[in-house]
Chain A
Amino acid sequence: MMASRKPLALHLGILALLLVLFFVLPAYHVGAFSRIMVLAIYAMGYNLLFGYTGLLSLGHAMFFAAGMYGFGLTTNLTGFSVIPAFASAMLAAGLLALGVGYLALRTAGVAFMIVTLMFAQTVYLIILYFGTYTRGDEGFVVQQAQRQLAGIDLTTETARYFTAFILFSVCFLAMAKLVQMPFGKRLIAIRENEERARMLGYDVANLKLRAMVISGVFSGVAGASYALLFGYVGASFAGVQYSIFPLLWVLLGGAGTTIGPLIGVIFMFYLIDISSGWTNAYMLVAGIVLVLLTLFAPQGIVGTLRKRGVAWLP
Chain B
Amino acid sequence: MAAVNVLEAKGLTKIYGGVEANVDVDLHLDQGKITALIGPNGAGKSTFVGMISGRIAPTRGTVYFKGRDISQLPAHKRMQLGMAYTFQITSIFPGLSVYDNVALAAGLRLAHDKQAHDAKVHAVLDRIGLDDRADQTAGDLSYGHQRVLEIAMGLAQEPEVFILDEPTQGLSETEVDAFIALMKSIAGETTILLIEHNMRVVAALADHVTVLDQGRVLASGTFAEIHANDAVQAAYLGSTPHA
User: Is there direct touching of A and B in the complex, by C-beta distance under 8 Å?
Assistant: yes
Report A's interface with B, CB cutoff 8 A: 1-2, 182, 185-186, 188-189, 191-193, 195-204
A202 to B153, CA, bound (A): 14
- Rounded to whole angstroms, the CA-CA distance of A186 and B111 in the bound complex is 11
Given A185-B103, A192-B95, A192-B96: A199 touches B108 (CB 8 Å cut-off) = no
How many A-B contacts at CB < 8 Å in the complex?
Answer: 63
Contact flag A201-B108 (CB < 8 Å), given A1-B118, A2-B135, A196-B87:
yes
User: How many Å lie between the Cα of A293 and that of B171 in the bound state?
Assistant: 39
Contact, CB under 8 Å: A193 / B135? no
Residues of A within 8 A of B104 (CB): 185-186, 189, 197, 200
Most buried by B among A1, A197, A200: A200
Chain B residues with CB under 8 A of A202: 76, 108
In the complex the two chains form, what is the Cα distance from A192 to B96 in whole Å?
8
List the 7 closest pairs (A to B, CB-CB), nearest first.
A201-B79, A182-B111, A192-B93, A201-B80, A201-B108, A196-B91, A199-B85
Report B20-59 residues with CB < 8 Å from chain A CB. Answer: 53, 55
Which chain A residue has the least Cβ–Cβ distance from B153?
A200
- A196-B93, A199-B55 known; A186+B135 contact, CB < 8 A: no
CB contacts under 8 Å to A, within B84-113, are 85, 87, 91-96, 99-100, 103-105, 107-108, 111
| Contact in complex: B118, A195 (CB < 8 Å) | no
Q: Contact residue range for chain B? A: 20 to 34
| Contact indicator B92/A193 (Cβ below 8 Å) | yes
Which residues of B pack against A, CB within 8 Å? 53, 55, 75-77, 79-80, 85, 87, 91-96, 99-100, 103-105, 107-108, 111, 118, 135, 153, 157
15 contacts between A and B (CB under 8 A): A1-B118, A2-B135, A182-B107, A191-B95, A193-B93, A195-B91, A196-B91, A196-B93, A197-B93, A198-B75, A200-B79, A200-B153, A201-B76, A201-B157, A204-B76
When distances are taken between beta carbons in the complex, the residues of chain B under 8 Å from A191 are 95
Min CB gap A11→B, angstroms? 20
Interface pair A200/B103, CB less than 8 Å apart: no
Q: Which residues of A contact B80 (CB under 8 A)?
A: 201
CB neighbours of A196 from chain B (8 A): 87, 91-93
Residues in B neighbouring A192, C-beta threshold 8 A:
93-96
B interface majority secondary structure: helix
Q: State in angstroms the CA–CA spacing of A188 and B138 once bound together.
A: 14
Shortest Cβ distance from B163 into A: residue: A199
Complex Cα spacing A189 to B80, Å: 17
CB <8 Å contact, B87 and A199: yes
Query: Which of B76, B93, B100, B135 makes the CB contact (< 8 A) with A198?
Result: B76
Set A1, A193, A200, A204: member contacting B108, Cβ < 8 A: A200
**Complex alpha-carbon distance, A199 and B87, angstroms:** 9
Q: For the complex, give the distance between the alpha carbons of A175 and B19 in Å.
A: 50
Instruction: Enumerate chain A residues within 8 angstroms of B92, measured Cβ to Cβ.
Output: 193, 196
Chain B nearest Cβ from A203, distance in angstroms: 5
> Across the interface, do A200 and B95 meet the contact criterion of CB distance under 8 Å?
no
* A199–B85 CA distance with the chains assembled, in angstroms: 7
Q: Which A residues lie within 8 Å of B105 (CB)?
A: 200
Q: Which residues of B contact A197 (CB under 8 A)?
A: 93, 104
Residue of B nearest to A256 (CB): B95
Pick from A185, A199, A200: contact of B100, CB under 8 Å: A185
What CA separation (Å) do A204 and B74 show in the bound complex? 11
Instruction: Give the residue name and chain of the B residue nearest to A204 (CB).
Output: B76
Kindly state the separation between the CA atoms of A200 and B76 in the bound complex, as whole angstroms: 7
**Residues of chain A within 8 A of B108, CB atoms compared:** 200-202
Whole-angstrom distance from the CB of A89 to the nearest CB of chain B? 32
State how many angstroms separate the Cβ of A147 from the closest Cβ of chain B: 42
The CA-CA distance from A196 to B92 in the complex, in Å, is: 7
Chain A residues whose C-beta falls within 8 Å of the C-beta of B79 in the assembled complex: 198-201
